[in-house]
């Protein structure tokens, strides 16, 4: 079994016992550093009604280094690229060991509710968001319907 810190075990137990609203994060059966995440799109956002799959991986040196998180479900968002990578400060230079998996997941969910086209990862989406926000929101809703719902 992979060397797992007490902190990871405690965080995992807390996540399973009291999941953040609209988010489930379950550790993989074979690797307790790897989580299968399902995130509901926030109410009032273009992603409302969608269920997005993400993967979260805790590196060997967690919590000194941030987790790696990636969307597996396609999403039209200026801060998430085609590969599912997420542009979020706490996943990069603003990481602090005081943060937890729960904080990261809630921050990603908040990012869905407040896209930031001024700090893009998907430049084409950010350009659309800035030049024609109504069209961008409509496209985000269409993608949510197409890729993040079972309908």
User: CA nearest 79: which of 67, 64, 90, 63?
Assistant: 90
Q: Number of H helices and number of E strands within the chain? A: 4, 4
For 51-69, b/e burial (b = at least 16 CB within 10 A) is bbebbbebeeebbeebbeb
How far is Cα 148 from Cα 10, in angstroms, rounded to an integer? 30
The residues near 48 (Cβ < 8 Å, ≥ 6 apart) are 41, 42, 144
The residues annotated as belonging to the active site are 87
How far is Cα 62 from Cα 4, in angstroms, rounded to an integer? 10
């Amino acid at each position: 079994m992979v060397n797992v810190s007490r902190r990871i075990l405690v965080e995992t137990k807390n996540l399973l016992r009291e999941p953040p609203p609209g988010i489930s994060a379950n550790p993989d059966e074979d690797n307790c550093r790897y989580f299968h995440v399902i995130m509901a799109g926030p109410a009032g956002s273009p992603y409302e009604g969608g269920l997005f799959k993400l993967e979260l991986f805790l590196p060997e040196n967690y919590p000194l280094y941030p987790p790696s998180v990636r969307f597996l479900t396609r999403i039209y968002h200026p801060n998430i690229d085609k590969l599912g990578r997420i542009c979020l400060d706490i996943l990069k230079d603003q990481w602090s060991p005081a943060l937890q998996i729960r904080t990261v997941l809630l921050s990603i969910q908040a990012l869905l509710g407040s896209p930031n086209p001024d700090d893009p990862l998907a430049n084409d989406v950010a350009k659309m968001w800035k030049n024609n926000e109504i069209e961008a929101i409509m496209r985000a809703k269409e993608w949510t319907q197409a890729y993040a719902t079972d309908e």
